[in-house]
Amino acid sequence: MIYQLGLTFFGLTPEYRLSVFNQIHEIVFNGNGGYDWSTIYNMPIWLRNFTYNKLREHYENKNPQKDVVEESIKNLKSEKNNNLITPPSYITKASKK
């Protein structure tokens, strides 16, 4: 017998399972210890999607601020290196005779 629907039973496609497990991993990993795997796995889908989207927004907004801070630190270091006092060229060690 040939089935036109592809799957002969109800189940999740491998692509959907992968996306669910990736979402669970991202929440647990980026939740800074606030979530465990079984809690997220048993969480209602709408709440898991909401939590995932909030974490994603948080880290997307955090990255530009990090770039600005790193750029400021880099600029300060380069200014500091440019403002170093160098000894005058006429100061040399006396030769020992």
Q: Full-prediction pTM beyond 0.75?
A: no
Give me the DSSP letters along 22-46: HHHHHHHHHTTTS--HHHHHHS-HH
Asked if 55 contacts 40 with a C-beta cutoff of 8 angstroms, the reply is no
Per-residue pLDDT of the chain (97 residues; tens, 9 = 90+): 555 666 566 777 888 889 999 999 999 998 888 889 999 999 999 999 999 999 999 888 877 766 666 776 676 666 655 656 666 666 666 666 6
Query: What are the CA-CA distances from residue 58 to residues 30, 36, 49, 51, 72 (Å)?
Result: 10, 19, 14, 11, 22
